[in-house]
Amino acid sequence: MRIGLIGAGNIGRLRANAINRSNSCELAAVVDVDLQRATAVAKTSRGAAYTDYQTLLTSESVDAVVVSTPPPLHEEIVVSALENGVHVLCEKPLANTLSAARRMVEAAAGTGNKLATGFNFRYIPSFRYLRKTLDSGAIGELDHVRAIAGHVGLSEFKAEWEHDNNVVGGGALMDIGIHMIDLVRYTLGEVADVYGMATENIWKLGGSEDNGFALMRSPEGRAATLQASWSEWKGYKFQIEVYGDRGMVQASYGPMRNTLIYTDGHGRRQKKTNQYRKIAVQEKLLGWQRTIEKSFQLEMDDFARYCQDGVCGGTLADGYAGFRAVEIANAVYSSTESKRAVSLSEPF
Ligand SMILES: NC(=O)c1ccc[n+]([C@@H]2O[C@H](COP(=O)([O-])OP(=O)(O)OC[C@H]3O[C@@H](n4cnc5c(N)ncnc54)[C@H](O)[C@@H]3O)[C@@H](O)[C@H]2O)c1
């Protein structure tokens, strides 16, 4: 598939490397309002460089675009691309408002073109292992989920917009938390109700919570708890634990690890761990970017299959998953105001 990349910043550059390494995609053109950035990234594949995404849509024959601009631009670019007959993979959060996210999903349905959300953590090996373990039945019937995603906050950000509520649509929950919200939903099946609380006592950024807490209930009555944090003083933490009636499985990144505790055929409790030493060494030598690029590459290959066969597959997050994650973060904000649980909308 011929891919146009829109937004050649920190994530766009990694996306370009992943497209260049993918077996199914080729980087045909790059757009950035900063021509130097667009040109530098386009050079990696001898693609064309533009400063306006409309020029890309009208003058290049691309099959799909990857959108990695800041969130407020996602809706306009994604809807334009879909209406121009082009499939889209859009970075997280799908949009900075729930209404924009809904319009994007509706545009995909209305045009028949595909929309995927860049929830690449689903492709990180420890989280793939988690999903596979649940599917295998090793921990029995799923009972509840416990999740945390956090970092130390303001010093982690490269750009001011990353902690601006008007740009991102929230704070920790819409930043690192949105990946974990997606993983909780991916694990639980679906979320029906959310009771939550968002606090901003530390950074006092006016609408960007530094901590978001959610208690979620699945339609079957299963529970999940989640914390997204910008005051994880110990450093980056991204971990999910899933408890079943016969064991539990834990998955984390930074460091990448799994622990599985299960009951064997003789009723004995067993423990298994994965340490991903090769990846740890690779990250020490080459940085975490390699791990993220690899997850982008696997995601691109699934995205290409989705566009060509119309089947989303087991791992790729579609546009609806992106909408639902924004809806869950927004439900925490509403619940903070009302001090009541919030029911999510009916599937559409
Ligand atoms: N998947 C992940 O793990 C992950 C991690 C961090 C950020 N993100 C998301 O990726 C997206 C980009 O984040 P980033 O950190 O690369 O930001 P960035 O600021 O580094 O890059 C954004 C780029 O978009 C360009 N841009 C702005 N307006 C444009 C327009 N109208 N047309 C074309 N280009 C335009 C900017 O010039 C810039 O080069 C955001 O949605 C962010 O939330 C995803």
Q: Give dist(CA 159, CA 180) in Å, integer.
A: 22
Q: What is residue 59's predicted lDDT score, i.e. its pLDDT?
A: 85
Within the chain, all domains assigned CATH 3.30.360.10 are found at 122-286+318-343
CA of 70 to the centre of ligand 1 (A): 4
Nearest CA to ligand 1 atom 19: 9
Nearest CA to ligand 1 atom 25: 7
Within the chain, all domains assigned CATH 3.40.50.720 are found at 2-121
Q: Is 140 in the pocket of ligand 1 (CB under 6 A)?
A: no
Cis before 71 (ω within 30):
no
CATH number for the domain running over 122-286+318-343: 3.30.360.10
Q: What is residue 334's predicted lDDT score, i.e. its pLDDT?
A: 98
Q: Which residues contact 306 (CB under 8 A, 6 or more apart)?
A: 87, 114, 116, 312, 313, 316, 318
pTM: 0.98
Collect the ranges in the chain with pLDDT lower than 50. none
pLDDT in tens, 142-170: 999 999 999 999 999 999 999 999 999 99
Q: What is residue 117's predicted lDDT score, i.e. its pLDDT?
A: 98
CATH number for the domain running over 2-121: 3.40.50.720
Q: Is 9 in the pocket of ligand 1 (CB under 6 A)?
A: yes
Q: What is residue 109's predicted lDDT score, i.e. its pLDDT?
A: 98
Q: Is 68 in the pocket of ligand 1 (CB under 6 A)?
A: yes
Q: Is 193 exposed, middle or buried (0-12, 13-18, 19+ CB in 10 A)?
A: middle
CA of 58 to the centre of ligand 1 (A): 22
Q: What is residue 60's predicted lDDT score, i.e. its pLDDT?
A: 81
CA of 260 to the centre of ligand 1 (A): 36
Phi–psi pair at 272, nearest 5 degrees: -135, 140
Comparing CA positions, the residue from 1, 178, 24, 30 lying closest to residue 91 is: 178
